[in-house]
Structure 1
Amino acid sequence: MLASLFNKSRPINYVLISLLLIGFYFLYLTRDLSWTEHYFTVIQKTGLLLVLTGSLFLVRFITKRNGLSKDNSYAPFIFVVFLILFPTTLVNTNIILANFFLLLALRRLISMQSLITPKEKIFDASFWIFVASLFHFWCILFLILVFISIVFHVSRDYRNWIIPFIAFFAVLVLFVMAVLLLDHDLLAFVKERLQISFDFTYFENVFQNIALAFFSSVAVLFFSTQVLVLKSRPLNMQSSYKKIIFTFLFGVGIYVLSADKNNSFLMFTFFPLSVLGTNFLEGLDKGWLKESILGGLVLFSLIIFLGQL
């Protein structure tokens, strides 16, 4: 039923997915209603919901515009299911904002295959990655993807290699101005974020542990199967799929390196896994198998979500 419903890219599908996101977002917020007592926190929560919804439509836009999937709405649906599986993501402001800016960067990097205005795309992608790193420092890893994209498409023009550094200085100037206006200690701000930790004993309850184990299994399934079929992709699309694979690996790298980690840090892998999962489902010939996998993913995520309320 679910696979059949989202097998087409229809407006009603995106309305349903958006309503699903909004419903579970506010349902999770009912755990603590203290945020309703102040106008500022109400505005903040509403703003985060708008950013999440924007992220959802960016997933849809990037996937459809760059031909990363067929004409269906699996990718945004799987993206929302992952948010339900890890509900702590819904209240992590820095991670939500950082992921949103990374999606803006990925939108530009993946579209570089068209070779239209590559310099502007390199600058935009670098700029958004540096902005994302202000909210979560290890997003800086995605700068490697900028240089990988340059290698794939426009490596012969030496000016393209300089552009990311121009974007860095642009963000640095804006950042320093903001720090001075807000009267913060610049070094303390940077030092606080430039930390590494390999401590994975952060689980607050057994459901978070189970969710990570389940997500890891799904990730291995989606990632390994799509890596194996990469060579069978059209030649003009292989660079785009390679970027998706690198995006997943860098997302895992952020999770591994981050200090004070929790499951919400896995959000950086949601988009690439949504694309890889969509391609996996599209490659299945039997309808009942698609329904079983998608239904099982949804059912398990619902159980984990309700267990954490």
Structure 2
Amino acid sequence: MAFIVKQTTLLFVAYASILLLDFIVNKNSLTLKSNYEILLFSLFLLFITQTTSNSNVLISNFFVLLGLRRIVSLHSQKDVKKKLFDAAFWIAIAALFYFWSILFFALIIVSLVLYTDNNVRHWIVPFLGVFTVFIISVATSIVFYDSFFGMFDISPQTSYDFSNYNSLSYLIAITVLLSFGIWSSFFYLKNIKKKKKVFRVSFKLIIIAAIIGFLIVLQVPEKNGSEFLFLFAPLAIIITNYIEIIQEKWFKEVFLSVLFIVPFVLLLL
């Protein structure tokens, strides 16, 4: 029974993550509303199925997406302090489930730099968000664990041993994801200047989020495949933008067909 409840919860979190990604994209006009990002994110979960088996990573990524939602929406310049606090708050909670997701906090700092925000209060607010989570976690730890840091699962160790990826399924999945992602990124960066000025920073933040996701993959001590989940959302947005500008119909169909067929082939390996 406990197993069924756990798997149902993970399925719900994965589904909620897909809906949240769709909301982020449509609310901030990050694509032409083709909804390819939903398809791609779902396919990426099949590329590396381990991403849905680690509950901590799945939940952490969901909170990262909540934080990303607030960061990307800064382009409106409304309720800036509230958005900065919320973003830091959600990312700090994500770090409680999976330590290395704290790297996404850098996205908040980068957003302030890109918006050339000289308001000192805006630079302080994100740290208050993290501090708030710290205080709540300490209080909860005292109540439930009778210790100050019972809730903290801080594992700052790193590892650059990629031997776990030396299987055919991993090699194919990683090669396809990275090659398609890097190829799409060139066109994504090239077309940022064509976007409306108010949205340009949001598009830049997505590419930076992808870089942070890649850094997490490099840093994590236990490389079991689940860490790639942090790459999926920004990668889905980047590749979607490329698909939308492909002029040749046959090439677009081949491009999508490869992304659609490969994960199902990998399930058979």
* Aligned partner of residue 195 in structure 1, secondary structure: coil
Deviation digits for residues 91-135 of structure 1 (CA, Å, limit 9, x no counterpart): 111110010000000111101101110110000000000000111
Q: Which residue of 2 aligns with 1:150?
A: 112
- Pick the aligned partner of 1:123 from 51, 66, 85: 85
Which stretches in structure 1 are left out of the alignment for 5+ residues? Answer: 1-38
**After the TM superposition, which segments of 4 or more aligned residues of structure 1 sit over 3 Å from their partners?**
184-192
AA in 1 matched with 2:101 = C
| 1:230 counterpart = 2:198 | no
- Determine the C-alpha separation between the residues in 1 that align with 2:151 and 2:140: 12
AA in 2 matched with 1:65 = K
- Pick the aligned partner of 2:48 from 86, 102, 107: 86
- Determine the C-alpha separation between the residues in 2 that align with 1:192 and 1:171: 14
- Determine the C-alpha separation between the residues in 1 that align with 2:109 and 2:167: 40
| 1:159 counterpart = 2:117 | no
- Determine the C-alpha separation between the residues in 1 that align with 2:5 and 2:181: 34
| 1:170 counterpart = 2:132 | yes
AA in 1 matched with 2:10 = L
- Pick the aligned partner of 2:257 from 295, 300, 303: 295
Aligned counterparts, 1:1-40, within 5 A? 39-40=1-2
- Identity between Structure 1 and Structure 2 (%): 31
> Residue 127 of structure 1 contacts residue 171 of structure 1 at CA under 8 Å; is this kept in 2?
yes
Deviation at 1:72, TM superposition (A): 1.3
> Residue 81 of structure 1 contacts residue 301 of structure 1 at CA under 8 Å; is this kept in 2?
yes
- Pick the aligned partner of 1:199 from 156, 161, 176: 161
Which stretches in structure 2 are left out of the alignment for 5+ residues? Answer: none
Deviation at 1:232, TM superposition (A): 2.9
CA RMSD, aligned part only?
Answer: 1.8
Higher mean C-alpha displacement, 280-289 vs 189-198:
189-198
AA in 2 matched with 1:294 = L
Summarize the Cα distance change of 1:185–1:211 in structure 2 as closer, same or farther, 3 Å threshold.
farther
Summarize the Cα distance change of 1:228–1:154 in structure 2 as closer, same or farther, 3 Å threshold.
closer
Summarize the Cα distance change of 1:80–1:287 in structure 2 as closer, same or farther, 3 Å threshold.
same
Higher mean C-alpha displacement, 78-87 vs 197-206:
197-206
AA in 1 matched with 2:139 = M
Deviation at 1:192, TM superposition (A): 5.2
Q: Which residue of 2 aligns with 1:4?
A: none
- Pick the aligned partner of 1:135 from 97, 103, 111: 97
Summarize the Cα distance change of 1:46–1:226 in structure 2 as closer, same or farther, 3 Å threshold.
same
Q: Which residue of 2 aligns with 1:65?
A: 27
TM-score between both structures, scaled by the size of structure 2: 0.94
TM-score between both structures, scaled by the size of structure 1: 0.82
Q: Which residue of 2 aligns with 1:210?
A: 172
Higher mean C-alpha displacement, 167-176 vs 230-239:
230-239
- Determine the C-alpha separation between the residues in 2 that align with 1:100 and 1:225: 28
- Determine the C-alpha separation between the residues in 2 that align with 1:191 and 1:267: 19
Deviation at 1:270, TM superposition (A): 0.5
Q: Which residue of 2 aligns with 1:29?
A: none
Higher mean C-alpha displacement, 93-102 vs 161-170:
161-170
Deviation digits for residues 192-233 of structure 1 (CA, Å, limit 9, x no counterpart): 512111111113732122211222211211222212332333
